[in-house]
Structure 1
Amino acid sequence: MSFHWARVSILLLFLFSFGLAIPLFVGGFEVVSVLTTLPYWTTPLLFLVMLLAWNLNVLRLCVLLDGQFNNVGYWKIMRIYMATEFVSKTTPMGAGAPAAAVSLLAPHGVKPISCLVIFGVSACMDAIVLVCLIGFFAVERLTMTLGANLLTGISLVSVLMLTTIACTSLLLYRHKLLFYLLLRMPGFSLTGEKGKKNAGKLIVSLHRALKRIFELPRWRLLLSWGTCLLYWGLYLSTLYLCIWMLGGGVSWLESGFIQTIAMGIGHLLMIPGGVGGVEVTGTLLLEPKLGATTAATAILLWRFLMLYLYLVIGGVSMLSLGVGAISYGNEKRSNL
């Protein structure tokens, strides 16, 4: 088992080193000299933006959980969140994040089914916000390129946005119908009374967890939507801030569109952290506007915020939570 984890760690180290090497290959060692000439206040500003974004997501988590934690302080919740993000960045498409959240929250009284439902609701909220933002970016690009056919382009984007929002709302508010249809699918047929009984228990648990979220006070639901909007606003501003600090002339809409495309390509590649695809896509899209050196420097700085900072702080959080879990288990066994 230890040999397996050693091989995985070496592979991840190689991947992340490869991601760092791509901007240096494109921009040359001038990238390092550009980074050394940045004003001293740029680093605290970028860290402040990331800290604010993390706290917004933690606040949304606390609002949706609605007191399901047992004697857990805000600092512990922040460490759990960062450890979950660490797992998300080191697994393809962040597939390991739900399992990590379940295992880290279970010792504090959060049921696995509640954790998975909250993950699903948060993902649906993120999907709605992202689709609206992508539609906004697309309309802006269509305004510049289509001209007379602008109305047709805006109509297509609007239909796409409304369809996605309607499907997401159906998933949330008509989940019992979707569960019923899922169980009737040919590839999901259950045989035997035990299988049907277990599926029934799972559906009831999912329904109760979703109902608990929908029955939250209106101000809590509005607060969760507000934190989601603010988070994505900050998240899609990071590349713009990096370009602005380097003296680039790219607008927020353009940088947000480039950031969305690059992150989407990274997810489609199914490589941990989107390494390689994000750097190459971002550099190719920015190079015509900024030049090779500035584009590579901006991507390197942005990827440090969006990936490597998560790995450092999330890894430390994971280690601290692991040590705490071991000591907690030893103490519990000693009391038996």
Structure 2
Amino acid sequence: MKRLLWLLPCLLIALLIPFLLGGSDMWQRLASFPSQLLLAMLGMILLCWLLNAMRLRLLLAERARQLGRIKSIGVVMATEFAICATPGGTGGPLTLMALLARNGIRPARSSALFAIDQLNDLLFFFCAFAGILLYGLFHRLTPNLENMLGLSAVLLLAGFAAIIALARYHRALIRGSGHLLARLKVRRARRIHLARKLLHFRDALRDSLNLPRRRLALIFLLTSAHWGLRFSVLYLALYGLGADIQWAWTFLIQMLALSAGQLSLLPGGVGGTELTSAALLAPLVGKSTAAAAILIWRAITYYFYLLAGGPAFLLLAGRPFLRRLMRLRGG
């Protein structure tokens, strides 16, 4: 648990960024923010957890019986907590695999489910960005918005190119990793064990992709509903502060800010996310409004995930697994 203490200065620094940006005017804007809207935004996050739990059960198919409805929500909350508490969200798949394994679901299957989940996310972002690009073609854009569109296009195309290359050349990747491990003097038995795990993962991924099309379509609809709600938080924060900005531009700002935050190698992208969103949002709505909106947005979509997901993580995974997760992250 001592490794968690170093997170506190990082979180405090991230909180200071909006305060330094907005100054005293930010407090006035926060005081006038509608409390009903804030409660509605918290309710949206609860609905996001429910949608993700439904998505998890659909991906598990007949194995969903091994995971109760209430427990599936807890698994989602614990996994989201691990994603927010570790750099790059690396603790998310480890937590999901560990919790599902306790309910009789093999790691190869759970890792394949996580991969399918990420593919659905990427497909949603691609579709949403295509819609925003079409919207931008028929509207006059500032140079700042044009740069955001260009950078977003590069990120999405790079992600799709990496997935296509991985799918096409996965056999060469497995062989290449075996040669690399041999050069690193990893024992042959260990190399065979790792190769079998990769093959089990490939087979589980293929089985998941062979689910009925109607089920896959429903999973994608749940994915779209989840991200649509979560990426509306910043827009609603700005709306409650009286700012006039299109939802499409808040979507791009969040997408770029969260991507930049991952490069900071800090849990939840703290610091990098706040700085990037401030740089993109302040020219559009002003410093004080941008600072207040960023503080509300991060409180709802990051700090609330830690506060609510932490107890769920400790209840389902326990402190020993949390300590092991922190050691893996720190090592």
On whether the aligned pair clears a TM of 0.5, the verdict is yes
- Residue matched to 2:116: 121
1:197-229 deviation line (CA, Å, top 9, x unaligned): 424522441233123212322211111111112
SS at 2:105's partner residue? coil
Percent identical pairs in the alignment equals 31
Q: Could you tell me how far 1:302 is from its partner in structure 2? A: 0.3
What amino acid maps onto 2:292 in structure 1?
T
- Unpaired runs of 5+ in structure 1? 327-336
Report 1 or 2 for greater relative contact order, CA contacts < 8 Å, sequence distance ≥ 6: 2
Instruction: State the 1:64 CA deviation.
Output: 0.8
**Aligned mates of 1:299, 1:53 — CA distance in 2:** 20
Equivalent position of 1:36 in the other structure? 31
Structure 2 alignment gaps of length 5 or more: 322-331
Q: Which moved more, 1:103-112 or 1:284-293?
A: 284-293
Distance in 1 (CA, whole Å) between partners of 2:117 and 2:319 is: 27
Residue 174 of structure 2 is aligned to residue 179 of structure 1: no
Larger mean Cα displacement after TM superposition, 155-164 or 130-139: 155-164
Matches within 5 A, 1:151-162: none
Work out whether residues 90 and 272 of structure 1, in 8 Å CA contact, stay in contact via their aligned partners in 2. Answer: yes
Q: Give the partner amino acid of 1:319.
A: L
CA distance, structure 1, for counterparts of residue 155 and residue 45 of structure 2: 31
Give the partner amino acid of 2:175. Answer: L
Taking the aligned partners of 2:261 and 2:151, their CA distance within structure 1 comes to 26
Give the corresponding residue for 2:327: none
Measured in 2, the distance between the counterparts of 1:82 and 1:118 equals: 16
Q: Is the 8 A contact 2:99 2:317 kept in 1?
A: no
1:273 maps to: 268
Measured in 2, the distance between the counterparts of 1:267 and 1:162 equals 18
- Residue pair 2:182, 2:188 contacting (<8 A) in 1 also: no
For the residues of structure 1 that align with 2:165 and 2:310, how far apart are their CA atoms?
Answer: 37
| Cα deviation code 1:243-294 (max 9, x no counterpart) | 0111100111111111111111101221111111111121222222222211
Greater Cα offset, 201-210 or 306-315: 201-210
Distance 1:14 1:324 in 2: 22
Offset at residue 79 of structure 1 (A):
1.1
> Comparing 249-258 with 69-78, which one deviates more in the overlay?
69-78
| Contact preservation (8 Å) 2:22, 2:289 | yes
* C-alpha contact (below 8 Å) 2:174/2:195 kept by paired residues: no
SS at match of 2:6: helix
Counterpart-to-counterpart distance in 2, 1:130 and 1:61: 19
Asked if the contact 2:18–2:274 (Cα under 8 Å) also holds between the matched residues in 1, the reply is yes
Q: What is the Cα deviation at residue 325 of structure 1? A: 9.8
Aligned Cα root-mean-square deviation (Å): 3.2
